[in-house]
Structure 1
C-alpha cells in the first residue's frame, strides 16, 4: 500500500454479505438500517468494496460485526475479510469482530486472526452485542488485543440498526455511552482505541475521553459532516486534530457524499489532510509502501 498515492483512508466500512450471500443482519434489522440511512446499495461484496475504493484512490478499513449471541445471525467470516485484504492489499486494511460472549474461544481467535491472517484491529458494537465495554466479560479479549498490538474500535452513540421498528427491534441504546470505554482506556493503556461515530447524545463525553486518554481516537463515520455537532468540529480543528479520523460507514453512507459535505466544514487547511489520511496512517502503522 503506497500511502503517498492515496487521497484518503476510510477507517470505517462494513462487510455486510459473505461470499455465500449470507447477510450479517436479519432482514428486519437490515431493512431498518437501510431506511434510516436512505442507502441504495446496501450489500456490496468484498470485491465490490475493493473496486469502489480503488476507483477513488482510497484505502479502507473493512470489518464485519459478530453479534451472534444476541441476534442469532452469524457474522460474515473474519477470514473472508482477511482474504479480501490479501487479494487487494492496495486498498483493504482488514479488521475483525469477535462477540465478547464467546469467552476463551474468542481470545484464541484474536491471536489466530492477528498471527495467521494479518488482522490489524477489532470492531465492537456494544449496542448490537448487548454488553457494556467495561464489563469484565470482555477483558480477556482486550488483553489479547493489547498483547497483539491491534486496535479496538467501539461503536458509540445512537445506531440506525433497528431504528423505526417496534421497540427499536429490541436494540437498547444505553450500551453506546462512550464513558464506559473510558474504563477500558484506563485499564488497557497500550491498546489504541477508536470511538466510532459522532456519539449522539453523548458527544461531550466522547470528547472528554479522547482529550484525556492519549490512545483514544474518534472516527467521524455514520453521519454526514453537515450534521456534526459544533463542539465536535471545534475539537477536530484544535485539541483533537491529531486524533480524529475520516470514516464513512460505507455502504450506509458513501465516501463521495461524506467528502463533499466535509469540504464545507470550517476547518484549517492544515487539519484536513490529518483527518483524511495522516492520522489513520500513523494509527495503523502504514508506511509509504506497506
Structure 2
C-alpha cells in the first residue's frame, strides 16, 4: 500500500470530482452533464487511477469525491466504496471523501459511519442546490452529528453552479440553497464540525468571508474559478485574516490545477501565505500526521 509523503508534495488540491466509475457510470445525468460542459467547456472524464497518475506527475495530492443526489435527480451515484478503495490503491496522492444524500436519513447516517470506520473516508461533499436541501434543514442534522463525532470534514458547495445552467428551469436546481449563510447555523449547532465552504461564493462572497472569519472551524476553498476572476475582497482576506483558513482547490477535471496555479501565480499573495494556501492549511485540516509526512518502505 503506498503512503503519502506530505513533505515532498508541492500542493494539496482539496476539490476534485470523480466523474465516471471504473465501469463507465457517470456521476450526473446526460442532461446535467451536457449543461455543465457548455458552461465549463468540454473536458475529459478521467478514471480515478488516471487522476492518480495526473497528480503524481505533478507532485500533488488530491481530495476525490462524488455527489450523491439520487433523491432529487433520480440518477444513481458513483459508489463511495469504489472511490475509497481506488484512492487507497493510490494513497500516496489521493484522499477519499464521500457523497451521502442527506435525504437518505438513518441509512445515510449508517453509511457515513461505515465509510469512515471501514474505508478510511476523510470527509463528505454536499451540494445543496443539486441535492435539493437547505444546509440548515434539521433533516440533515443526524448526518452532521456523525460526521462531527468521527472527526471528518463536511465540504459544502456554495454560490452559483454551472450544473443545470441553461437547462429549462435550471434542471430543477435552486441556487438559494447554496448561500453560505445557511451553513452558519450548522457551524453554530455543531461547533466541533470541520467545515469547508467550496468556491468563491458568487453572489455571496461577503457572506462566506463573514462565516469563515466568525466560526473557528469554517474554511474556504478556492476551486471552480480561475484565480484571475477572484473577487478582490477574497484575495484581501486570504492574505490577512483568513491566511490559515483558505485552501487550494481546482474543481478538476472542469478546471485543471495547471491552469489554476498559473493564474494563482499572478495574484498579489504574500510569499509567506502562498505555501499555506497551496498545502499547509490543507495538511493541517486533513490531519495528515507524522505517519503520512514520512515515506514508509
TM-score range, shorter chain: over 0.9
Looking at structure 2, the residues matched to 54 and 72 of structure 1 have their Cα atoms a distance apart, in angstroms, of 35
**Partner of residue 261, structure 1:** 263
SS in 2 for 1:218: strand
Looking at structure 2, the residues matched to 254 and 288 of structure 1 have their Cα atoms a distance apart, in angstroms, of 29
> Is 1:164 the equivalent of 2:192?
no
The question of whether the paired residues in 2 share the 8 Å contact of 1:123 and 1:154 is answered with: yes
**Partner of residue 13, structure 2:** 10
Q: Where do 1:273-284 residues align within 5 Å? A: 273-284=275-286
In structure 2, runs of 5+ residues without a counterpart are: 293-297
User: Deviation digits for residues 176-208 of structure 1, max 9, x if unmatched?
Assistant: 100000000000011100000000000000000
In structure 1, runs of 5+ residues without a counterpart are: none
Aligned with residue 146 of structure 1, among 148, 161, 178: 148
- Structure 1 residue 155: deviation in Å? 0.3
Q: Where do 1:76-115 residues align within 5 Å? A: 76-115=78-117
- Structure 1 residue 170: deviation in Å? 1.7
List structure 1 segments (4+ residues) > 4 angstroms apart after TM superposition.
Answer: none
Aligned with residue 237 of structure 1, among 225, 236, 239: 239
The question of whether the paired residues in 2 share the 8 Å contact of 1:39 and 1:253 is answered with: no
- Structure 1 residue 39: deviation in Å? 3.7
> Is 1:191 the equivalent of 2:193?
yes
Q: Where do 1:216-231 residues align within 5 Å? A: 216-231=218-233
Looking at structure 1, the residues matched to 226 and 34 of structure 2 have their Cα atoms a distance apart, in angstroms, of 20
Looking at structure 1, the residues matched to 94 and 59 of structure 2 have their Cα atoms a distance apart, in angstroms, of 12
TM-score, structure 1 length as denominator?
Answer: 0.98
- Structure 1 residue 288: deviation in Å? 4.7
Looking at structure 1, the residues matched to 19 and 75 of structure 2 have their Cα atoms a distance apart, in angstroms, of 12
TM-score, structure 2 length as denominator?
Answer: 0.96
Looking at structure 1, the residues matched to 6 and 291 of structure 2 have their Cα atoms a distance apart, in angstroms, of 7
User: What RMSD, in angstroms, separates the aligned Cα atoms of the two structures?
Assistant: 0.7
- Equivalenced residue count is 289
Aligned with residue 27 of structure 2, among 18, 24, 29: 24
The question of whether the paired residues in 2 share the 8 Å contact of 1:198 and 1:221 is answered with: yes
SS in 2 for 1:162: coil
**Partner of residue 61, structure 2:** 59
